[in-house]
Amino acid sequence: MQRTEISKYGEFGLIKHLTEKFKISNESTLYGVGDDAAVLDYKEKQVLVTTDLLLEGVHFDLVYVPLKHLGYKAAVVNFSDIYAMNGQPKQITVSLGVSKRFAVEDLEELYAGIALACETYGVDLVGGDTSASLTGLTISITCIGEAEKEKIVYRNGAKLNDLICVSGDLGSAYMGLQLLEREKIVFSANSEAQPDFEGMDYILKRQLKPEARKDVIQALKEKGIVPTAMMDISDGLSSELIHICTQSNVGCRIYEDKIPINYQAVVMADELNMSIVTAALNGGEDYELVFTVSMADYEKIITVEGVGIVGNITKPEFGLQLIGREGEELEMKAQGWNSLK
């Protein structure tokens, strides 16, 4: 494979080379890459801003994450934060720190993933920064989105008796990660070994190429449902529910048998002798949405495809209860993924 040293381009040449194929598709993008700042026009809409810093060895492992997938995922997880406010992502900026290990072709792969994500979700790349790094790859993405003021959904609006809803399924991304880690260990012991991913394409995809739930936000809009509180599930359902309950000053009750789990994730958990419920509650990286809706929206919410009711909001003094399959009560704790521990 061709290997072009990054120094051939220099900073400005490199940014230009990597970004010139990106097209601007949003009316709110007045000016993108190429000046001191991007210029956006949000008119009467509110502006949403979210940011994420991804560090090699902490947030991703290039041994098993292809750069194109990494670019796609890095962009999508930011879009997910904007959807979680009931907004629409419109622009991103991408800053990279790259060590000499990386060639221009590597960054082209990374940007190809970002470009695919931008195209899929209708988002414009409007700026960024590329610089040398002494060690590894650093990716910092900021996403800007729009929302109507009255439709923005915060974490703090859950009310007593609201229904707690979850999109898609939980724990699959975590089980995909466990599978990749297992095969990495096998490979490091025997470099002739071929990874054994048979029948596990779904959980691998959930880990390597997650999607943000634009479709769910669209469906809620079409049904006329505005959630009372919402988050995306990046650190695990338990952790997100703690945020919602703390900020809303409520408790919650979740039914274990209602937690949506995919069959492949169950099989993988069995193989590894892990609890799939623990993975679903604490695994993280699913980028599904957890949200609360008023009881009055019950008839509407059950018609939304890919969304299930997993419990309900209770009084704060009940805390966060998990009701097991036998009816036993457990207290939910956040064991969510935490890079600082």
3 binds its own copies (CB under 8 A): no
Q: How far is the CB of 112 from its own copies (least distance, A)?
A: 20
Contact between 95 and its own copies per CB under 8 A:
yes
With CB under 8 A as the contact rule, the residue among 24, 42, 151, 202 that binds its own copies is 42
Q: Which residues pair with 253 in a beta bridge?
A: 312, 321
Instruction: Please give the residues from 48 up to 87 whose contact with its own copies meets the rule CB under 8 A.
Output: 48-53, 55-59, 81-82, 84-85, 87
Site size toward its own copies, by CB under 8 A:
74
Q: Least distance from C-beta 84 to its own copies, angstroms?
A: 4
Q: What's the closest the beta carbon of residue 332 comes to its own copies, in angstroms? A: 16
Cα–Cα distances in angstroms (integers) from residue 245 to residues 12, 88, 236, 249, 253, in the given order: 46, 25, 14, 5, 11
Exactly one of 16, 25, 41, 188 binds its own copies (CB under 8 A); which one? Answer: 41
**Among residues 43, 192, 198, 328, which is the contact residue for its own copies, using CB under 8 A?**
43
Which residue number, 231 or 307, has a Cβ lying nearer to its own copies?
231
SS3 313: strand
3-state secondary structure of 275: coil
Q: Is 267 exposed, middle or buried (0-12, 13-18, 19+ CB in 10 A)?
A: middle
Write out the binding residues for its own copies, residues 300-339 only, by CB under 8 A. Answer: 338-339
Q: 97 or 176, CB closer to its own copies?
A: 97
CA pair distance 161, 266, nearest whole angstrom: 31
- What CA–CA distance (Å, rounded) separates 240 from 155? 9
Is 19 an interacting residue with respect to its own copies (CB under 8 A)?
A: no
Of the candidates 216, 12, 6, 166, the residue with the CA atom closest to the CA atom of residue 99: 6
Based on the shown chain and the rule CB under 8 A, indicate whether residue 212 belongs to the binding site for its own copies: no
In the complex, minimum distance from the CB of residue 289 to its own copies, in angstroms, rounded to a whole number: 10
* Alpha carbons 336 and 66: distance in angstroms, whole number: 25
Nearer to its own copies (CB atom), residue 14 or residue 225 = 14
Tell whether residue 284 is a contact of its own copies (CB under 8 A): no
- Beta bridge partners, 92, equal 125, 143
Beta carbons within 10 angstroms of residue 266's beta carbon: 17
Stretch (H or E) spanning 239: helix 237-248
Q: How far apart are CA 145 and CA 148, in angstroms?
A: 11
**17 is a contact residue toward its own copies (CB under 8 A):** no
Single residue of 23, 25, 39, 63 touching its own copies by CB under 8 A: 39
d(CA 256, CA 193): 38
Contact 301, 294 (CB under 8 A): no
Report the nearest approach of its own copies to the CB of residue 168 (Å): 17
Q: Which is nearer to its own copies, 3 or 325 (CB)?
A: 3
CB of 325 to its own copies, least distance (A): 30
Binding to its own copies in span 231-260, by CB under 8 A: 231-232, 243, 247
- Radius of gyration of the chain measured on its C-alpha atoms: 21
- Within 133-196, strands assigned E span 138-147, 163-167
Query: Of the ranges 7-15, 174-182, 258-266, 297-305, which one interacts with its own copies (CB under 8 A)?
Result: 7-15
Residue 75 to residue 32: CA distance in whole angstroms: 17
Q: Which of residues 129-188 bind its own copies (CB under 8 A)?
A: 129-136, 138, 140, 142-145, 147, 149, 152, 154-156
Q: How far is the CB of 81 from its own copies (least distance, A)?
A: 4
Shortest gap between Cβ of 256 and its own copies (angstroms)? 25
31 binds its own copies (CB under 8 A): yes
Is residue 203 part of the contact set for its own copies (CB under 8 A)? Answer: no
